[in-house]
Amino acid sequence: MKTKAAVLRGVERDWEVVELELDPPKANEVLIRFVAAGLCHSDEHLRHGDIVPRFPVVGGHEGAGIVEAVGPGVTRVKEGDHVVCSFIPSCGRCRFCSTGQQNLCDLGATILEGCLTDGTFRFHGDGEDYGAMCMLGTFSQWSVVSEYSCVPVAADLPLEKAVLVGCGVPTGWGSSVYAAGVRPGDTVVIYGIGGIGINAVQGAKHAGATNIVAVDPLANKREKAEELGATHSAADAGEAQNLVLQLTNGVGADHAIVTVGVVDEDVVEAAFNVVRKGGDVTVTGLADPMKKTVHLSGGILTLFQKTVRGTLFGSANPIYDITKMLDLYRAGSLKLDELITRTYRLEEINQGYQDLLEGKNIRGVIIHEH
Protein backbone atom coordinates (compact mmCIF):
# COMPACT_ATOMS: atom_id res chain seq x y z
CA MET A 1 0.00 0.00 0.00
CA LYS A 2 0.96 3.67 -0.25
CA THR A 3 1.62 5.93 2.72
CA LYS A 4 2.63 9.55 3.20
CA ALA A 5 5.62 9.97 5.49
CA ALA A 6 8.13 12.57 6.69
CA VAL A 7 11.63 11.34 5.92
CA LEU A 8 15.22 12.45 6.36
CA ARG A 9 17.78 11.74 3.65
CA GLY A 10 20.82 13.01 5.49
CA VAL A 11 22.23 15.22 8.21
CA GLU A 12 21.18 18.92 8.22
CA ARG A 13 18.48 18.26 5.59
CA ASP A 14 14.88 19.30 6.18
CA TRP A 15 12.12 16.78 6.68
CA GLU A 16 10.57 15.82 3.32
CA VAL A 17 7.01 14.59 3.10
CA VAL A 18 6.93 11.87 0.44
CA GLU A 19 4.80 8.96 -0.68
CA LEU A 20 6.33 5.57 0.10
CA GLU A 21 5.39 1.98 -0.59
CA LEU A 22 4.63 -0.03 2.57
CA ASP A 23 4.85 -3.85 2.62
CA PRO A 24 2.23 -5.93 4.43
CA PRO A 25 3.14 -7.26 7.90
CA LYS A 26 5.30 -10.37 8.11
CA ALA A 27 5.34 -12.82 11.02
CA ASN A 28 4.92 -11.12 14.42
CA GLU A 29 4.29 -7.74 12.80
CA VAL A 30 1.26 -5.49 12.54
CA LEU A 31 -0.03 -2.81 10.19
CA ILE A 32 -0.85 0.28 12.21
CA ARG A 33 -2.69 3.44 11.24
CA PHE A 34 -1.05 6.20 13.24
CA VAL A 35 -3.46 8.78 14.60
CA ALA A 36 -0.86 11.01 16.25
CA ALA A 37 2.91 11.39 16.56
CA GLY A 38 4.85 13.48 19.10
CA LEU A 39 7.72 15.78 18.14
CA CYS A 40 10.51 14.68 20.49
CA HIS A 41 13.98 16.20 20.45
CA SER A 42 15.47 12.75 19.67
CA ASP A 43 14.29 12.98 16.03
CA GLU A 44 15.83 16.44 15.83
CA HIS A 45 19.12 14.83 16.92
CA LEU A 46 18.99 12.73 13.72
CA ARG A 47 18.36 15.78 11.56
CA HIS A 48 21.03 17.87 13.24
CA GLY A 49 23.54 15.02 13.26
CA ASP A 50 24.01 14.73 17.03
CA ILE A 51 23.01 11.12 16.53
CA VAL A 52 23.35 9.64 13.05
CA PRO A 53 20.98 6.86 11.94
CA ARG A 54 21.00 4.86 8.71
CA PHE A 55 19.52 7.08 5.97
CA PRO A 56 17.00 7.43 4.45
CA VAL A 57 14.77 7.14 7.48
CA VAL A 58 11.09 7.69 8.25
CA GLY A 59 11.12 9.76 11.45
CA GLY A 60 9.06 9.54 14.61
CA HIS A 61 9.20 7.32 17.65
CA GLU A 62 6.31 8.65 19.74
CA GLY A 63 3.11 7.30 18.24
CA ALA A 64 -0.40 6.06 18.91
CA GLY A 65 -2.78 4.43 16.48
CA ILE A 66 -5.05 1.56 15.57
CA VAL A 67 -4.05 -1.94 14.45
CA GLU A 68 -5.48 -2.53 10.98
CA ALA A 69 -4.01 -5.95 10.15
CA VAL A 70 -1.81 -8.53 11.81
CA GLY A 71 0.77 -10.88 10.34
CA PRO A 72 1.11 -14.59 11.16
CA GLY A 73 1.70 -15.53 14.80
CA VAL A 74 0.77 -12.20 16.39
CA THR A 75 -0.66 -12.65 19.90
CA ARG A 76 -0.06 -9.35 21.72
CA VAL A 77 -2.62 -7.34 19.78
CA LYS A 78 -5.47 -7.93 17.33
CA GLU A 79 -7.11 -6.00 14.53
CA GLY A 80 -8.96 -2.96 15.85
CA ASP A 81 -6.89 -2.61 19.01
CA HIS A 82 -5.84 0.89 20.01
CA VAL A 83 -2.13 0.93 20.77
CA VAL A 84 0.60 3.20 21.99
CA CYS A 85 3.98 2.24 20.57
CA SER A 86 7.05 1.91 22.75
CA PHE A 87 10.25 3.33 21.26
CA ILE A 88 12.08 0.26 22.56
CA PRO A 89 10.44 -3.08 21.74
CA SER A 90 10.12 -5.65 24.51
CA CYS A 91 10.43 -9.27 23.48
CA GLY A 92 9.64 -10.57 26.97
CA ARG A 93 12.31 -13.26 26.73
CA CYS A 94 15.78 -11.71 26.69
CA ARG A 95 17.90 -11.35 29.81
CA PHE A 96 16.73 -7.76 30.30
CA CYS A 97 13.01 -8.27 29.67
CA SER A 98 12.98 -11.32 31.90
CA THR A 99 14.53 -9.38 34.78
CA GLY A 100 12.17 -6.41 34.79
CA GLN A 101 14.25 -4.13 32.55
CA GLN A 102 12.16 -4.13 29.37
CA ASN A 103 13.58 -0.71 28.50
CA LEU A 104 16.90 -2.46 27.83
CA CYS A 105 15.44 -5.23 25.61
CA ASP A 106 17.97 -6.73 23.21
CA LEU A 107 15.61 -6.00 20.30
CA GLY A 108 16.46 -2.32 20.80
CA ALA A 109 19.79 -2.96 19.07
CA THR A 110 18.45 -1.82 15.67
CA ILE A 111 16.48 1.31 16.64
CA LEU A 112 18.89 3.49 14.63
CA GLU A 113 19.25 1.02 11.76
CA GLY A 114 15.46 1.22 11.55
CA CYS A 115 14.86 -2.28 10.20
CA LEU A 116 12.41 -4.71 11.74
CA THR A 117 13.51 -7.59 13.95
CA ASP A 118 14.31 -9.87 10.96
CA GLY A 119 16.75 -7.26 9.59
CA THR A 120 14.59 -6.20 6.61
CA PHE A 121 12.66 -3.01 5.82
CA ARG A 122 8.94 -2.42 5.14
CA PHE A 123 9.16 1.14 3.70
CA HIS A 124 10.45 1.52 0.12
CA GLY A 125 10.70 4.33 -2.41
CA ASP A 126 12.51 4.68 -5.75
CA GLY A 127 14.08 1.23 -5.33
CA GLU A 128 15.52 2.12 -1.94
CA ASP A 129 14.75 0.74 1.54
CA TYR A 130 13.70 3.33 4.13
CA GLY A 131 14.37 2.66 7.80
CA ALA A 132 11.94 3.63 10.53
CA MET A 133 13.10 5.62 13.57
CA CYS A 134 13.08 3.26 16.57
CA MET A 135 11.55 0.59 14.29
CA LEU A 136 8.33 2.67 14.33
CA GLY A 137 8.35 5.61 11.87
CA THR A 138 5.42 7.38 13.52
CA PHE A 139 5.77 10.29 11.06
CA SER A 140 4.05 8.01 8.53
CA GLN A 141 0.26 7.70 8.19
CA TRP A 142 0.64 3.94 8.23
CA SER A 143 3.51 1.74 9.36
CA VAL A 144 4.36 -1.90 9.87
CA VAL A 145 5.86 -2.49 13.29
CA SER A 146 6.82 -5.44 15.46
CA GLU A 147 4.09 -6.66 17.80
CA TYR A 148 6.76 -6.26 20.49
CA SER A 149 6.63 -2.48 19.97
CA CYS A 150 2.87 -2.36 20.65
CA VAL A 151 1.10 -1.82 23.94
CA PRO A 152 -2.71 -2.10 23.71
CA VAL A 153 -4.61 0.67 25.49
CA ALA A 154 -8.27 1.28 26.34
CA ALA A 155 -10.28 2.32 23.28
CA ASP A 156 -12.05 5.20 25.03
CA LEU A 157 -8.82 7.17 25.62
CA PRO A 158 -8.03 9.95 23.13
CA LEU A 159 -5.05 8.68 21.09
CA GLU A 160 -4.00 12.25 20.25
CA LYS A 161 -3.25 12.71 23.97
CA ALA A 162 -2.20 9.14 24.82
CA VAL A 163 0.53 9.46 22.16
CA LEU A 164 2.72 11.22 24.74
CA VAL A 165 3.07 8.07 26.82
CA GLY A 166 5.09 6.46 24.02
CA CYS A 167 8.21 8.42 24.99
CA GLY A 168 8.12 11.78 26.77
CA VAL A 169 5.88 10.94 29.71
CA PRO A 170 7.37 7.64 30.93
CA THR A 171 10.90 8.86 30.14
CA GLY A 172 10.51 12.00 32.25
CA TRP A 173 8.26 10.59 34.98
CA GLY A 174 10.43 7.48 35.26
CA SER A 175 13.62 9.57 35.42
CA SER A 176 12.33 10.97 38.71
CA VAL A 177 10.42 8.01 40.11
CA TYR A 178 12.41 4.99 38.93
CA ALA A 179 15.90 6.14 37.94
CA ALA A 180 16.47 8.81 40.62
CA GLY A 181 14.12 7.17 43.12
CA VAL A 182 12.68 10.45 44.41
CA ARG A 183 11.09 10.06 47.86
CA PRO A 184 8.75 12.16 50.00
CA GLY A 185 10.48 15.27 51.32
CA ASP A 186 13.27 15.28 48.72
CA THR A 187 14.71 18.28 46.92
CA VAL A 188 14.98 17.70 43.17
CA VAL A 189 16.49 19.93 40.49
CA ILE A 190 15.44 19.39 36.87
CA TYR A 191 17.46 20.99 34.07
CA GLY A 192 15.55 21.56 30.80
CA ILE A 193 11.74 21.72 30.58
CA GLY A 194 10.67 20.16 27.28
CA GLY A 195 8.49 17.11 26.76
CA ILE A 196 10.84 15.07 28.94
CA GLY A 197 11.66 17.56 31.72
CA ILE A 198 8.03 18.56 32.33
CA ASN A 199 7.29 14.91 33.08
CA ALA A 200 10.28 14.66 35.40
CA VAL A 201 8.54 17.51 37.26
CA GLN A 202 5.28 15.55 37.32
CA GLY A 203 7.11 12.43 38.52
CA ALA A 204 8.94 14.28 41.29
CA LYS A 205 5.65 15.79 42.45
CA HIS A 206 3.93 12.42 42.41
CA ALA A 207 6.77 10.91 44.45
CA GLY A 208 6.26 13.54 47.13
CA ALA A 209 9.28 15.83 46.68
CA THR A 210 9.09 18.93 48.87
CA ASN A 211 11.21 21.17 46.65
CA ILE A 212 11.13 20.81 42.87
CA VAL A 213 13.35 23.34 41.12
CA ALA A 214 12.82 23.65 37.35
CA VAL A 215 15.76 25.18 35.46
CA ASP A 216 15.23 26.59 31.97
CA PRO A 217 16.34 29.84 30.34
CA LEU A 218 12.84 30.29 28.85
CA ALA A 219 10.11 31.95 30.94
CA ASN A 220 7.27 30.01 29.25
CA LYS A 221 8.93 26.73 30.26
CA ARG A 222 9.40 27.83 33.87
CA GLU A 223 5.76 28.94 34.07
CA LYS A 224 4.50 25.61 32.76
CA ALA A 225 6.74 23.74 35.19
CA GLU A 226 5.30 25.73 38.10
CA GLU A 227 1.78 25.05 36.84
CA LEU A 228 2.48 21.29 36.85
CA GLY A 229 4.25 20.91 40.17
CA ALA A 230 7.56 22.77 40.33
CA THR A 231 7.78 24.68 43.62
CA HIS A 232 10.55 26.97 42.34
CA SER A 233 12.22 27.79 39.06
CA ALA A 234 15.52 29.27 37.92
CA ALA A 235 16.71 30.72 34.62
CA ASP A 236 20.19 29.21 34.84
CA ALA A 237 22.33 26.80 36.80
CA GLY A 238 23.95 29.47 38.99
CA GLU A 239 20.56 30.76 40.12
CA ALA A 240 19.46 27.18 40.80
CA GLN A 241 22.59 26.49 42.88
CA ASN A 242 21.96 29.51 45.13
CA LEU A 243 18.29 28.70 45.48
CA VAL A 244 18.97 25.08 46.43
CA LEU A 245 21.54 26.04 49.06
CA GLN A 246 18.98 28.41 50.59
CA LEU A 247 16.20 25.81 50.50
CA THR A 248 18.35 23.09 52.09
CA ASN A 249 20.31 25.05 54.71
CA GLY A 250 23.46 24.70 52.63
CA VAL A 251 23.19 20.90 52.29
CA GLY A 252 22.35 20.59 48.57
CA ALA A 253 19.72 18.74 46.55
CA ASP A 254 18.97 15.04 46.88
CA HIS A 255 18.64 14.53 43.12
CA ALA A 256 19.46 16.37 39.90
CA ILE A 257 17.92 15.30 36.60
CA VAL A 258 19.32 16.45 33.27
CA THR A 259 16.67 16.68 30.53
CA VAL A 260 18.09 19.51 28.36
CA GLY A 261 17.80 19.21 24.58
CA VAL A 262 21.52 18.67 23.94
CA VAL A 263 23.56 17.60 26.96
CA ASP A 264 26.97 19.22 27.48
CA GLU A 265 29.61 19.02 30.18
CA ASP A 266 28.55 22.32 31.79
CA VAL A 267 25.03 21.19 32.62
CA VAL A 268 26.25 17.81 33.91
CA GLU A 269 28.81 19.56 36.10
CA ALA A 270 26.18 21.98 37.41
CA ALA A 271 23.95 19.01 38.27
CA PHE A 272 26.87 17.28 39.98
CA ASN A 273 27.60 20.38 42.08
CA VAL A 274 23.99 21.00 43.10
CA VAL A 275 23.53 17.61 44.81
CA ARG A 276 24.48 16.94 48.43
CA LYS A 277 26.84 14.30 49.80
CA GLY A 278 25.39 10.96 48.75
CA GLY A 279 23.17 12.67 46.17
CA ASP A 280 22.71 11.57 42.57
CA VAL A 281 22.63 12.90 39.04
CA THR A 282 20.41 11.25 36.42
CA VAL A 283 21.29 12.00 32.80
CA THR A 284 18.27 11.49 30.55
CA GLY A 285 19.05 14.00 27.79
CA LEU A 286 21.17 12.91 24.85
CA ALA A 287 24.13 14.21 22.87
CA ASP A 288 26.51 12.96 20.19
CA PRO A 289 27.67 9.56 21.56
CA MET A 290 31.20 10.35 20.33
CA LYS A 291 31.39 13.45 22.56
CA LYS A 292 32.51 13.21 26.19
CA THR A 293 29.85 15.14 28.07
CA VAL A 294 30.60 13.93 31.60
CA HIS A 295 33.76 15.65 32.90
CA LEU A 296 33.78 15.55 36.68
CA SER A 297 36.11 15.43 39.64
CA GLY A 298 36.57 11.78 40.54
CA GLY A 299 37.84 12.88 43.95
CA ILE A 300 34.57 14.68 44.74
CA LEU A 301 32.61 11.75 43.31
CA THR A 302 34.33 9.44 45.80
CA LEU A 303 34.69 11.67 48.83
CA PHE A 304 31.13 13.02 48.62
CA GLN A 305 29.86 9.61 47.58
CA LYS A 306 27.85 10.98 44.66
CA THR A 307 26.26 8.86 41.90
CA VAL A 308 25.96 9.70 38.19
CA ARG A 309 23.67 7.46 36.12
CA GLY A 310 22.11 7.31 32.68
CA THR A 311 18.55 6.26 32.03
CA LEU A 312 16.73 5.00 28.95
CA PHE A 313 12.92 5.31 28.80
CA GLY A 314 13.05 6.51 32.42
CA SER A 315 14.10 2.99 33.44
CA ALA A 316 10.43 2.08 33.02
CA ASN A 317 8.99 -1.18 31.66
CA PRO A 318 7.01 -0.21 28.54
CA ILE A 319 4.31 -2.86 28.81
CA TYR A 320 3.51 -2.04 32.42
CA ASP A 321 4.31 1.65 32.51
CA ILE A 322 2.60 2.81 29.30
CA THR A 323 -0.65 1.42 30.70
CA LYS A 324 0.09 2.77 34.15
CA MET A 325 0.73 6.31 32.85
CA LEU A 326 -2.71 6.22 31.21
CA ASP A 327 -4.31 4.95 34.44
CA LEU A 328 -2.74 7.92 36.25
CA TYR A 329 -4.05 10.25 33.53
CA ARG A 330 -7.56 8.85 33.96
CA ALA A 331 -7.27 9.25 37.73
CA GLY A 332 -6.30 12.91 37.27
CA SER A 333 -2.86 12.55 38.85
CA LEU A 334 -0.90 12.91 35.62
CA LYS A 335 -1.55 15.72 33.15
CA LEU A 336 -1.35 15.07 29.41
CA ASP A 337 -3.67 17.61 27.78
CA GLU A 338 -1.71 20.48 29.34
CA LEU A 339 1.56 19.24 27.78
CA ILE A 340 0.48 19.71 24.17
CA THR A 341 1.26 23.27 23.14
CA ARG A 342 0.30 22.90 19.49
CA THR A 343 -0.77 20.33 16.94
CA TYR A 344 0.48 20.20 13.34
CA ARG A 345 -0.38 18.56 10.04
CA LEU A 346 2.32 16.22 8.73
CA GLU A 347 3.18 18.82 6.06
CA GLU A 348 3.99 21.29 8.86
CA ILE A 349 6.67 19.11 10.42
CA ASN A 350 9.57 21.48 9.71
CA GLN A 351 7.59 24.26 11.39
CA GLY A 352 7.03 21.93 14.34
CA TYR A 353 10.74 21.33 14.78
CA GLN A 354 11.49 25.02 14.30
CA ASP A 355 9.07 25.72 17.15
CA LEU A 356 10.81 23.08 19.31
CA LEU A 357 14.19 24.67 18.66
CA GLU A 358 12.83 28.12 19.46
CA GLY A 359 11.47 26.77 22.74
CA LYS A 360 7.84 27.51 21.94
CA ASN A 361 6.52 24.04 22.69
CA ILE A 362 6.35 21.83 25.70
CA ARG A 363 5.32 19.16 23.17
CA GLY A 364 4.16 19.56 19.59
CA VAL A 365 2.03 16.73 18.16
CA ILE A 366 1.33 15.76 14.55
CA ILE A 367 -2.25 14.70 13.90
CA HIS A 368 -2.29 12.41 10.86
CA GLU A 369 -4.89 12.75 8.11
CA HIS A 370 -6.00 9.61 6.25
The yes or no reply on residue 194 touching ligand NAD (CB under 6 A) is yes
| Binding region for Zn ion (CB under 5 A) out of 3-11, 92-100, 205-213, 237-245 | 92-100
The yes or no reply on residue 94 touching Zn ion (CB under 5 A) is yes
| Binding region for ligand NAD (CB under 6 A) out of 8-16, 111-119, 154-162, 283-291 | 283-291
Our CB check for Zn ion shows the closer of 231 and 311 to be 311
Write the interaction track for ligand NAD spanning residues 120-159; mark x where CB under 6 A is met and - where it is not: ----------------------------------------
Give the total of residues touching ligand NAD (CB under 6 A): 30
Binds ligand NAD by CB under 6 A, chosen from 108, 195, 252, 352: 195
What is d(CA 24, CA 201) in angstroms, rounded to the nearest whole number? Answer: 41
The yes or no reply on residue 167 touching Zn ion (CB under 5 A) is yes
Q: Is 100 exposed, middle or buried (0-12, 13-18, 19+ CB in 10 A)?
A: exposed
Write the interaction track for ligand NAD spanning residues 21-40; mark x where CB under 6 A is met and - where it is not: -------------------x
What is d(CA 322, CA 333) in angstroms, rounded to the nearest whole number? Answer: 15
Which of ligand NAD, Zn ion, none sits in contact with 97, Cβ below 5 to 8 A by type? Zn ion
Which of Zn ion, ligand NAD, none sits in contact with 313, Cβ below 5 to 8 A by type? ligand NAD
Across 214-224, b (16+ Cβ under 10 Å) vs e yields bbbeeeebbeb
What is d(CA 326, CA 331) in angstroms, rounded to the nearest whole number? Answer: 9
Our CB check for ligand NAD shows the closer of 116 and 287 to be 287
The yes or no reply on residue 6 touching Zn ion (CB under 5 A) is no
The yes or no reply on residue 356 touching Zn ion (CB under 5 A) is no
- Report the site for ligand NAD in 287-316 (rule: CB under 6 A): 311-313
Residue-wise DSSP of 293-333: -----HHHHHHTT-EEEE-SGGG--HHHHHHHHHHHHHHTS
First vs last C-alpha separation in the chain: 13
The yes or no reply on residue 217 touching ligand NAD (CB under 6 A) is yes
Distance of CA 364 to the CA centre of its chain: 13
Residue-wise DSSP of 216-239: -S-HHHHHHHHHTT-SEEESSHHH
Write the interaction track for ligand NAD spanning residues 332-361; mark x where CB under 6 A is met and - where it is not: ------------------------x--x--
Residue-wise DSSP of 138-175: TTBSEEEEEGGGEEEE-TTS-HHHHGGGGTHHHHHHHI
So which residues are the catalytic ones?
A: 40, 42, 45, 61, 167
Backbone angles phi, psi at 348, to 5 degrees: -95, 15
Interface residues with Zn ion (CB under 5 A) are 40, 42, 91, 94, 97, 105, 167
